[in-house]
Amino acid sequence: MMEDVIRRLLVEIGEDPDREGLAKTPARVAESYRFLTSGYAQDPAAIVGDAVFSEECNHMIIVRDIEVFSLCEHHMLPFFGRCHIGYIPKGRVFGVSKLARLVDCFARRLQLQERLTQQIARTVKDSIDAEGVGVIIEARHLCMMMRGVQKQNSRMVTSAVLGSFHHSAATRNEFLALVRQELP
């Protein structure tokens, strides 16, 4: 049981798990980890479900600034930031909230930011057979900020470009420009 493991961890770091402030901590931490890793129990195809709509549309669609929170698989410390997704459909588009739900599905697993970026891009492309997909994640990693090199202002940026976003510099540059564009 996860609560027993957390209780043992508290003992190992020199704490008294029975003291007032920690008495319920094993249960709270177990509940937190169940939520933070709930993506393992989710099926990306089920998330997309029937929220794909026929639409004769072949222009770029972008959802920017999707908040992303995940746990680094190396230290099990959080990383957090923003995800930007762009795609060019071939007759089928997503219900817009499904993109944010896909981000959460993959982010709520122990992750590497590089893998997370690729998983999102591949799922978006494959779910609707998109002409092209681009995904950028900008994140701060507490494993780098709180321990190790302790660089509090560092950010990691990863991208995955598939299809026309990969093959066409013009398409890729349009995506990058629109992601960077300041909105009124």
Catalytic residue among 72, 83, 111, 119: 72
Residue 143 falls in the annotated catalytic set = yes
Catalytic residue among 67, 73, 114, 167: 73
Catalytic residue among 111, 119, 141, 174: 141
Catalytic residue among 3, 138, 143, 166: 143
Residue 75 falls in the annotated catalytic set = yes
List, in order, residues 6 or more apart from 52 with CB less than 8 Å away.
92, 93, 94, 95, 98, 127, 128
Catalytic residue among 31, 55, 67, 74: 74
Residue 166 falls in the annotated catalytic set = no
Residue 105 falls in the annotated catalytic set = no
The beta strands (E) that lie in the chain are given as: 52-54, 61-72, 78-88, 92-94, 110-111, 132-141, 156-163
Residue 181 falls in the annotated catalytic set = no
Catalytic residue among 75, 118, 138, 166: 75
Distance CA(103)–CA(7), nearest Å, equals: 32
Residue 141 falls in the annotated catalytic set = yes
Distance CA(72)–CA(184), nearest Å, equals: 34
Question: Token pair of 27, please?
Answer: 């249960």
Residue 84 falls in the annotated catalytic set = no
- DSSP letter, residue 146: T
Distance CA(97)–CA(56), nearest Å, equals: 20
Helix (H, G, I), strand (E, B) or coil at 142: helix
Show which residues are catalytic: 72-75, 113, 141, 143
